[in-house]
Amino acid sequence: MSDFSGQVIFITGASSGIGAALVRELARRGADVGLAARRVERLESLAAELRGQGRKAVAVRCDVTRDGDVEGAVAAVREAIGPISVAVANAGFGVAGTVERLTLEDYRRQFETNVFGVLRTIHATLDDVKRTRGRLVIIGSVSGHVGLPNVSAYAMSKFAVRALAQSLGHELARHGASVTLISPGFVESEIRRVDNRGVLHPDAPDTVPGRLRMPTDRAARQIADAVARRRSEAVITLHGKVAVFFQRHTPWLVSAAVRRLALKGRREPGREG
């Protein structure tokens, strides 16, 4: 496959999970890649792997919550391998807890990464994407369609970027550029092992049963297909598609199911009780 041959991809949150799998998939389809995340050692290893396969790849440490970091990372990628054709705003994490327990600071921290981090990525890459008639990709979530207990902060952030993707898609159409919102359900990832302060607990159990978690390489293939086709949105995973369908057409049924099944939602890793 050569859907992305000769194109330069910039992706945040590229050190693990969907981000790392998507880097490999896009490189397999011919892209050169700029990898950005906080864990630069993982990035360097992945970049070396891609260079060994004949692709251009550059790893840059980047914290999307810090003003100037994304701009600096994009400048480094542009200088090393060229202007950005596809920008993927993938970095994110999930704050868990009831509205009663969460503080305003918890909500601010969630939005700083999941919303303002996306905006920083867009602002840093927008000129390149417009010039190349390229693509902006925002990694949202099924939680941007369906709000469940204990994840109000996360769901709010994903509803916000869903609105952003819709508005920005209209704005970019006249430039020949496009926006694709990806709304995954449960995918193999570290996200459920990250606490409300963004700290990874590698030994924490994944609270989602294995049979419901889509492998990252399969998710990456579906995401790459959606981006290649310039789809405005793609919901990833069967259970995600089902949840979005019922929420859209019979929201009362979703509410009844959540309450009848007494779904408690996600708990914060590393928190007792």
**pLDDT band, residue 127 (cuts 50/70/90):** very high
Whether residue 165 has pLDDT greater than 90 = yes
Whether residue 56 has pLDDT greater than 80 = yes
Q: Is 154 tagged catalytic?
A: yes
Q: What does the chain look like in DSSP terms, one character per residue?
A: --TTTT-EEEEESTTSHHHHHHHHHHHHTT-EEEEEES-HHHHHHHHHHHHHTT--EEEEE--TTSTTHHHHHHHHHHHHH-S-SEEEE-------B-TTT--HHHHHHHHHHHTHHHHHHHHHHHHHHHHTT-EEEEE--GGGT---TTBHHHHHHHHHHHHHHHHHHHHHHTTT-EEEEEEE-SBS-SGGGB-TTS-B-TTSPPSS-GGGPBPHHHHHHHHHHHHHTT-SEEEESHHHHHHHHHHHH-HHHHHHHHHHTT------TT---
Predicted TM-score of the model (pTM) = 0.89
Whether residue 214 has pLDDT greater than 90 = no
Among residues 154, 164, 222, 226, the one annotated as catalytic is 154
Average pLDDT for residues 159-173, to the nearest whole number? Answer: 98
Whether residue 271 has pLDDT greater than 60 = no
Task: Walk me through the domains of the chain, giving residue ranges and CATH numbers.
Answer: 8-260 (3.40.50.720)
Average pLDDT for residues 26-32, to the nearest whole number? Answer: 96
